[in-house]
A = this chain, B = another copy of it.
Amino acid sequence: MAKERQGFTVWFSGLPSSGKTTLARMLEQALKQRGYKVEVLDGDIVRQYFSKGLGFSREDRIENLRRIAYVAHLLSRNGVVAITAAVSPYQEARDRAREMNERFVEVYVKCPVEVCIERDVKGLYKKALKGEIQNFTGISDPFEEPVNPEVICETDKETPEESLQKILKTLENLGFIEREEGEENAYSEEEEAVVRKRLEDLGYL
């Protein structure tokens, strides 16, 4: 049985194919192993359930993100870790999500668009570049770089495991998750320093 603990929201943002879903799923597994209740609100799942009648205009995207933020709020205030993994391209929408969720960590999955185009997990960049998809983030719609993310994962430079450890370390340093026993040795000094620097810059430490 999952332990009874406070929930929180981990809000991923990043270009299509930057690695959001991969990291969200890895984080889900890592937290479940530690006994947390976790729900991943993946962009596709959310579009399937909440977005009929919404298109890809700025206004509609913001509305979509507002819905995700609200569901995350309902879950996290009931002890669940809500992990969202939508593209989430606008600062305004991310700010609102943060306002709606008291215990909130923003993870910017940073990756140059050229690398994302090479990966093109769902083949959508190809279509967007041909003009077959309109308002495609990174090609024909802007991605506003997050101004205050607690974690930045550079997925063209780090392994997924390294990115995951940064996120876990940040959650521990913020007191959102408990430090694992004997974990002192689980991270390199370098990883630890990167995370601490980031949280210091943000004024948390």
Contacts and interface: CB of A to CB of B under 8 A. Distances in A.
A53 B52 contact: yes
Contact of A75 (B4, B49, B70, B78): B78
A74 B39 contact: yes
A204 interface: no
A54 B53 CA distance: 7
A37 B74 contact: no
A79 B37 contact: yes
Given A50-B67, A71-B71, A78 B39 contact: yes
A138 B1 CA distance: 45
Number of copies: 2
Place the interface of chain A in its size category: 20 to 34
A196 interface: no
Nearest to A71: B71
B52 A52 contact: no
Contacts of A75: 74-75, 78
Contact of A49 (B1, B67, B80): B67
A205 interface: no
Contacts of A53: 52-54, 60, 63
A66 interface: yes
Interface of A: 1-4, 37, 39, 49-50, 52-54, 60, 63, 66-67, 70-71, 74-75, 78-80
Given A39-B78, A52-B53, A75-B75, 19 more contacts: A3-B4, A4-B4, A37-B78, A37-B79, A39-B74, A49-B66, A49-B67, A49-B70, A50-B50, A52-B63, A53-B53, A53-B54, A53-B60, A53-B63, A71-B71, A74-B74, A75-B78, A78-B78, A78-B80
